[in-house]
Chain A
Amino acid sequence: MARVLVVDDAAFMRKVVSDALNGGGHEVIGEACNGAEAVARYQELQPELTTLDITMPEMDGLAALKEIIAIDPRARVIMCSALGQESKVLEAIKAGAKDFVVKPFKADRVLDAVGKAMA
């Protein structure tokens, strides 16, 4: 079981990801709706794992990832992005993300990625 911070600008996606995580026995300890909030919540909550959308207002997921990794080089971050943002995802993996999940996804895909990141 992991304590997870879920970051997405769409409330709908935060619910979908949270439902999937809760269904897999994980605990969603917080949510954020943009990159800046994600960094602040990360420092405040110190989650074991963070799911991060890429296209978000204010600060995008890639910039947030880099800040989170700078704060905590061992941070476990999984990128969740829509199709078409693969080049950014590759950049994210290079920047330290553990995995990426392409939307739309099934709950099992999220849980697999979390399981691998926590292993």
Chain B
Amino acid sequence: MTADEALLRIGESTGAAVAGALEAYCPGAIECAAPTIVDADTDPVAGVSLPAVAADVSYVDGVRGGNLFLMPLAAVRALAAAMMGADPAEAVAAGEGEDELSELELSAAGEIANQMMAAAAAGMSTVLGQEVEIAAPETRVVTASGDALTTVDSATAVVSVPIDVLGHRCRLVQLVPHAFVVRMTRALDDLDAEFATGEEEVTVAGGTRDAALPADLLGEVGVRVAAELGRVSMTIRRAVNLAPGAVVELDRELEDPIDLYVNGRRFGTGRLVTLDGDEWAVRIDTVAFETAPRKGE
């Protein structure tokens, strides 16, 4: 993966996390466009109506870098109303022609920036395998695009992600130090490799990996065998909000076979049975790294 590809992946995942946090307040009213890497001659905040609120959120632990979320005043009014369960359109109409925000609206802008970047930091923590923490947000009103960003040094890349909030064009600008890009590139390469070997047949010289195993030499090596009943995809937000008593539907029917894994790699399918009426066991249906059909794959 090149550094530019890693930068765009960072932009995409951060944009998605930001949009997810906004969606919680404005369902169906958030549009996140593709990220672009901004060169030194381009204004990274072009296209955002000014004056606008700039919310700065820096990383304080795990990685270095910063994020700027720029929201025109109308977007802040609409968002603050949505966050309080009021009508966004009415709030925008009431603020028409006003150049200032209320203290509560400005505070709402800082709070949503905190929630957005906390979600993005959670995603980065997962990729890097290390806790990434953010500082409390700092908000200010900018009236000229040159005031939005402080000078960016040559060792920092700038990624810009346009995000429409309730029809108002906002912009996420990420300041990514090159050292961070290098770490993310490695981490994303590792992640891609893990996904590739986790689900696909890996070809090695002379045949597939399973056929090439010198079983007589490795026969005494312990392996971890796991049986998987089913899977489900959900947002991190929903996952952390699961409470005792919640029911999570899996992707399998009662009569579907379950998957069997050896050290994380699927090697067959089977059926759940009970032994002596009080112990779970699995009766093997298929073996030898056959690819069992799975819904959603």
- Residues of chain A at the chain B interface (Cβ within 8 Å): 9-13, 15-16, 55-57, 81-88, 102-104
Bound CA–CA A88/B122 (angstroms): 12
Per DSSP, chain A at the interface is mixed
Residues B118 and A16 in contact, CB atoms below 8 Å apart:
no
> Which residues of B sit under 8 angstroms from A103, Cβ to Cβ?
111, 115
Bound CA–CA A119/B120 (angstroms): 36
Across the interface, name the chain B residue whose C-beta is closest to A106: B85
Residues B134 and A55 in contact, CB atoms below 8 Å apart:
yes
Residues A55 and B114 in contact, CB atoms below 8 Å apart:
yes
Which one of A12, A57, A84 lies within 8 Å of B107 (CB-CB)?
A12
Sample 14 A-B pairs with CB under 8 A, ordered by A number.
Answer: A10-B108, A12-B108, A16-B83, A55-B134, A55-B136, A57-B136, A82-B114, A83-B118, A84-B119, A84-B236, A85-B133, A86-B122, A102-B237, A102-B240
Per DSSP, chain B at the interface is helix
Known: A83-B21, A102-B240. A10 touches B111 (CB 8 A): yes
Across the interface, name the chain A residue whose C-beta is closest to B237: A83
Bound CA–CA A6/B203 (angstroms): 59
Residues B118 and A10 in contact, CB atoms below 8 Å apart:
no
Residues B107 and A10 in contact, CB atoms below 8 Å apart:
yes
- Residues of chain B at the chain A interface (Cβ within 8 Å): 21, 24-25, 80, 83-84, 103-105, 107-108, 110-111, 114-115, 118-122, 125, 131-136, 236-237, 240-241
Across the interface, name the chain B residue whose C-beta is closest to A8: B111
> Which residues of A sit under 8 angstroms from B107, Cβ to Cβ?
10-13
Residues A15 and B104 in contact, CB atoms below 8 Å apart:
yes
Residues A82 and B83 in contact, CB atoms below 8 Å apart:
no
> Which residues of B sit under 8 angstroms from A82, Cβ to Cβ?
114-115, 118-119
Q: Which 6 A-B pairs have the closest CB atoms?
A: A84-B122, A82-B118, A84-B118, A12-B107, A10-B111, A12-B108
Across the interface, name the chain A residue whose C-beta is closest to B236: A83
Residues A87 and B119 in contact, CB atoms below 8 Å apart:
no
Which one of B110, B133, B135, B240 lies within 8 Å of A83 (CB-CB)?
B240
Residues B24 and A104 in contact, CB atoms below 8 Å apart:
yes
Residues B104 and A13 in contact, CB atoms below 8 Å apart:
no
> Which of A10, A56, A102 has the most C-beta atoms of chain B within 10 angstroms of its own C-beta?
A10
- List 7 other contacts, CB 8 Å, given A11-B103, A83-B237, A84-B132: A10-B114, A55-B134, A56-B136, A57-B136, A84-B134, A86-B240, A102-B240
> Which residues of A sit under 8 angstroms from B240, Cβ to Cβ?
83, 86, 102
> Which residues of B sit under 8 angstroms from A11, Cβ to Cβ?
103-104, 107
